[in-house]
Amino acid sequence: MTPIKRFGGALAAAMLCGALIPTTAAAAPATGSARSDDQQHAFDFHFGTWRTHILTRSSTASGATQWVKMTGTVIDQPLWNGRANLEKIEGSGSGSHFQGLTLFLYDPKTGQWSQQFASSSDGIMEEPVYGEFKDGRGVFYGWSSDGAKKILERDVWSNITPNSYHFEIASSADGGRTWVKEFIAQLTRMSKAPDYSASNPEGSGPEHDFDFNMGHWNTRIRAVMNPLSAPNVWSNLQGTHVVYRVWGDWADIGQLEVDGPGGHIEDMALRLYDRKTHQWRVYFANSDSGTLEPPMVGEFKNNVGTFVFLDEMEGKTVLVRNVWSDITAKSCHQDWAISADGGKTWVSTWVSTDTLGS
């Protein structure tokens, strides 16, 4: 859902230069259970900082399964006034340690939520699970992988109180007739507000390519609504976006808020670094659709970042290219372009200049 594809409704890819800065003011008070009459607020209970005790199934070298115990912390913060939220997870035990994040998005058209998880091991968002809450219990279904096989996954949120909840993941290899528990977590509240006190020092490796982008920005944008049929019709937008790290060296998130001919627009970008390929994946979403789009992939060289992916536009499949340049301590520049001939020629669709705000 790039800016040139959803111009006037959701300029999602603009988020490459922006992200949400955490504020406790946006957080709704925790409730005793999810509201069955309003799915948009189903995850209000989850906002805050939690202590978690985890049991997860793993396979030994001989192929036998065993339960591994872990303890850790879960921090969940609201986005878009609760229509989305981001969960930050860290745990350790039995000689292992992991970091992860889960993005929750509310789809106002279906009234359902989606949730997608990514681990620091590869920086790839797993396939989503979809569901809703009824009578204080949330049930989500989706696909998971068992080696080369696709299997059903079921996630259940239950026993929700103001200060605790229970979460389980189960899998089924027979179409849902039987289920095997894979992950069990019991969580106890530490704080009603997300804890943002952790420091994130700057680094110098490629996983810190976007460090320059942290902070509060003002943006001015010129964009094309229909780049194939009307490539010379430009519109002006302006607004703000802010950036903060989810983890110190492999993930950050952003939110863009701009106004233009199509009205007010809220967008989000989640940027994940893959330590194996040394590339970034940038995932986009907007508050109107509540869905996460496939990622752009790219990297920085000589202080210029180039990201590409395939998209469908006006009935055609096109290449989309985003280039970061002119990066300074107080500004950055982005150019977006599309190609309908495999990259031989490019049509400019988006130009933005961002300056550091207050």
Residue 20 has pLDDT above 80, yes or no: no
Rounded to whole angstroms, the Cα distance separating 311 from 331 reads: 28
Q: State pTM to two decimals.
A: 0.82
Which range among 28-42, 58-72, 158-172, 338-352 has the greatest average pLDDT? 158-172
Could you read off the pLDDT of 102-120 as tens digits, one per residue? 999 999 999 999 999 999 9
Residue 26 has pLDDT above 70, yes or no: no
Do residues 48 and 304 touch, judged by C-beta distance below 8 A?
A: no
Residue 25 has pLDDT above 90, yes or no: no
Which residue segments constitute the domains of the chain, with CATH numbers given? 12-22+201-356 (2.40.128.20), 25-191 (2.40.128.20)
Do residues 171 and 187 touch, judged by C-beta distance below 8 A?
A: no
Listed in sequence order, the residues at least 6 apart from 346 whose beta carbon sits closer than 8 Å to its beta carbon are 321, 337, 338, 339
Do residues 143 and 150 touch, judged by C-beta distance below 8 A?
A: yes
**Is 316 exposed, middle or buried (CB count within 10 Å of its CB: 0-12, 13-18, 19+)?**
exposed
Could you read off the pLDDT of 222-276 as tens digits, one per residue? 998 788 888 888 999 999 988 888 988 899 998 889 998 888 888 999 999 998 8
pLDDT at 129: 97
Residue 316 has pLDDT above 90, yes or no: no
pLDDT at 201: 52
Rounded to whole angstroms, the Cα distance separating 92 from 166 reads: 19
* pLDDT mean across residues, the chain: 85
> Which of 71, 73, 72 has its CA nearest to residue 48?
73
- Could you list the beta-strand ranges (E) of 36-163: 48-59, 65-79, 84-93, 96-107, 112-119, 129-134, 137-146, 149-161
Mean pLDDT computed over 71-99: 92
- Describe the chain by its helix, strand, coil percentages, rounded to 5: 5, 60, 35
